[in-house]
C-alpha cells in the first residue's frame, strides 16, 4: 500500500546532514517584530526526534543541495516505515517547502498507532527543516489515485493545518502546469509553516 502526496521524481544520491537549528537571526519570523518568540513554543528538531523514538520510530534527514529526503524506520524491526522527498524552492514570495511525495509502507498497517501517525512524524521533520531553511510556506498535492485514499489524504492534511487552494483535474489548460510539476491530479494544498509549528507544539513540545 502506498499513500502519496504526489509521484516523486528520481533524485540523486543523498548525503547525511547533521540535524541542527540555525541561529535565530538567520530564520525569518514575523513574531519577532511583535515581540513574541516562536522559538519558545515551536517544537525543536530534537524534541520531534525524541517523541518519535518514544514511539519506536527512528527518523533520518538527508540533504543534497535544495533536495531533501526523510526516512522513518522501526527501532524494533529496523524496517523502513515511510519516507518523504522534496525540495526547497526559491520563489518571488520567498522560499517554499515543496513536499513532492510522502509514502508509507504496509508494515504501518499492523502498528498500534495510526498509519497517519507515521506521516505526522515525517511531516513534522519536513516542516521543521523548512522553517530552519527560512521557508514561509509548505506546498503539496494530495494525489488522487483513488477516491477513497484521496479523501483520506485531504482530510489528514486539513487536520494537521493545510488548506486546499486548487483542484487539479486535468480538465483545464491551467492544470497542465500543475500536472507537470506534481506528476498527477489531486488537491493542491498550502500551509503557513510557522502556524503548523504552533499547531503541533502540544504534540511534540517537551514538558521539561
Q: C-alpha angle 40/155/10, rounded to 5°?
A: 85
Has residue 200 got a pLDDT over 60? yes
Domain residues for the domain of 116 are 41-140+191-203
Asked if residues 47 and 204 have their Cβ atoms less than 8 Å apart, the reply is: yes
In a domain, 152, yes or no: no
Has residue 208 got a pLDDT over 50? no
Q: What is the pLDDT of residues 91-121, one digit of tens each?
A: 887 899 999 888 877 656 555 455 457 888 8
Has residue 128 got a pLDDT over 50? yes
- The whole-angstrom separation of Cα 104 and Cα 119 is 7
In a domain, 159, yes or no: no
Has residue 27 got a pLDDT over 90? no
Q: How many domains does the chain have?
A: 1
In a domain, 28, yes or no: no
Q: For 28-140, where are the alpha helices, taking DSSP H only? A: 45-54, 115-132
In a domain, 70, yes or no: yes
DSSP 79-102: -EEEEEEEEEEEETTEEEEEEEEE
In a domain, 155, yes or no: no
* 37/55: higher pLDDT: 55
DSSP 153-199: HHHHHHHHT-EEEEEE-S-STTHHHHHHHHSS-EEEEEEEHHHHHHH
What is the pTM for the complete model shown?
Answer: 0.73
Identify the bridge partners of residue 71 per DSSP, sorted by sequence position.
60, 83
Between the ranges 24-33, 65-74, 158-167, where is the mean pLDDT highest?
65-74
In a domain, 18, yes or no: no
What CATH number has the domain bearing residue 128?
3.40.630.30
Start-to-end C-alpha separation, the chain: 38
Asked if residues 199 and 159 have their Cβ atoms less than 8 Å apart, the reply is: no
Mean pLDDT value across residues 20-32: 37
Q: What is the pLDDT of residues 181-195, one digit of tens each?
A: 777 888 899 999 999
In a domain, 168, yes or no: no
In a domain, 114, yes or no: yes
Q: Give the three-class secondary structure for 75.
A: coil
- The band of 133, judged by pLDDT with boundaries at 50, 70 and 90, is very high
Amino acid at each position: 500500500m502506498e499513500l502519496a502526496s504526489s509521484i516523486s521524481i528520481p533524485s540523486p544520491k543523498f548525503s547525511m546532514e547533521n540535524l541542527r537549528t540555525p541561529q535565530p537571526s538567520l530564520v525569518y519570523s514575523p513574531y519577532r517584530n511583535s515581540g513574541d518568540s516562536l522559538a519558545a513554543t515551536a517544537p525543536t528538531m530534537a524534541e520531534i526526534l525524541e517523541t518519535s523514538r518514544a514511539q519506536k520510530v527512528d527518523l533520518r534527514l538527508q540533504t543534497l543541495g535544495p533536495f531533501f529526503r526523510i526516512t522513518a524506520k522501526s527501532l524494533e524491526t529496523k524496517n523502513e516505515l515511510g519516507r518523504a522527498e522534496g525540495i526547497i524552492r526559491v520563489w518571488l514570495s520567498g522560499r517554499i517547502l515543496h513536499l513532492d511525495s510522502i509514502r508509507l509502507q504496509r508494515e504501518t498497517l499492523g502498528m498500534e498507532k495510526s498509519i497517519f501517525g507515521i506521516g505526522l512524524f515525517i511531516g513534522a521533520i519536513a516542516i521543521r527543516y523548512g522553517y530552519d531553511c527560512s521557508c514561509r510556506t509548505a506546498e503539496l498535492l494530495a494525489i488522487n489515485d483513488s477516491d477513497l485514499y484521496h479523501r483520506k489524504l485531504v482530510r489528514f492534511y486539513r487536520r494537521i493545518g493545510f488548506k486546499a487552494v486548487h483542484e487539479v483535474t486535468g480538465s483545464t489548460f491551467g492544470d497542465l502546469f500543475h500536472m507537470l510539476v506534481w506528476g498527477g491530479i489531486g488537491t493542491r494544498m498550502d500551509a503557513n509553516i510557522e502556524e503548523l509549528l504552533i499547531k503541533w507544539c502540544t504534540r511534540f513540545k517537551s514538558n521539561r
